[in-house]
Structure 1
């Protein structure tokens, strides 16, 4: 192979490479997020609540590609666990803000630390500069508001069945 020819790893399609990394992260992070109902999705909602970014259930569903029925069940579970509350929005009585409780903030801190360790492990093949650049690029892709999670997944992520009770 010449120096200008891409390696086999570089030739792999984006979906395959992202899938491998995501599966590694999901496997390693499952134990870390076990203290949050709904696992990874529960963590995303709790994280948004702690950061004050959970301004409405609709906004959360759109942001994370979660069907509103599934999100309602997830919020019920998070509320039952004492991690979040739904509070009336003072600017719009029809809206409910999702707010982290003190227990939710505490749990967020512990799970966040464990997930930081998972991130470090998954990114360990990269040097610090590469890992920082990858995070920056992924944040940019994730923050691109021109494409929703539902559009990327061709609405598959938004039409899944609610959890069985």
Structure 2
């Protein structure tokens, strides 16, 4: 159950957005505001990891999954192979992952989180959970769970209808679309 102040804030926000303001009903605006806030908070939470949020994803895969090769990690996470090489190089230089010979094929290297990497990941994940709770503070527990479930279901649906093989390309597509939507010449943007 939300507190009185949360309820008052939510009511004021809802009435401000909906009270004659077309933005209140605009899904793109709502997603954009939430996305921007999440990206900022996730970047802050993962700032200590080389590669920020993307580096955190590589570190999590190296810590929680069966050790995978660099190529398999790139494919699974949708990261360009060249970008993945740089990410893993930076994570290895920081002592968070190491490359080990693959026992099944010694020509390949497995990417494995070090103990320091597992500790760093635990800290980032704590900060990320705190950031997510802050982001969703305007919702009660049931609404938070419902939002997560609905977004997950929507993401699975969209992913199956329009798969994105490379997350780097997806980010590039978003930036390109945002840039194209900005008024004025490219030199005046940003």
Q: TM-score range by the shorter chain?
A: 0.7 to 0.9
- Greater radius of gyration (CA): 2
Alignment gaps of 5+ in structure 1: 1-6, 158-165
Give the distance between the partners of 2:170 and 2:125, measured in 1 at CA: 30
Which of 108, 126, 148 is the equivalent residue of 2:164? Answer: 148
Q: Which residue of 2 aligns with 1:12?
A: 26
Give the distance between the partners of 2:61 and 2:79, measured in 1 at CA: 14
User: Is 1:68 matched with 2:81?
Assistant: yes
Superposed CA RMSD in Å reads 2.8
On the 8 A contact 1:29/1:118 being kept in 2, the answer is: yes
Alignment gaps of 5+ in structure 2: 1-17, 174-190
User: Is 1:113 matched with 2:129?
Assistant: no
CA gap of 1:19–1:150, structure 2 versus 1, over 3 A, is: farther
Give the distance between the partners of 2:168 and 2:97, measured in 1 at CA: 29
Q: Which residue of 2 aligns with 1:37?
A: 50
Mapping of residues 99-138 of structure 1, within 5 Å: 99-138=112-151
The higher relative CO (CA closer than 8 Å, separation ≥ 6) is in 1
Give the distance between the partners of 2:112 and 2:136, measured in 1 at CA: 31
Q: Higher helix share goes to which structure?
A: 2
CA gap of 1:154–1:115, structure 2 versus 1, over 3 A, is: closer
Superposition TM-score, scaled by structure 1 size: 0.75
- Equivalent residue of 1:35, what SS? coil
- Equivalent residue of 1:124, what SS? coil
Superposition TM-score, scaled by structure 2 size: 0.66
Give the distance between the partners of 1:151 and 1:107, measured in 2 at CA: 23
What is the Cα deviation at residue 134 of structure 1?
A: 2.3
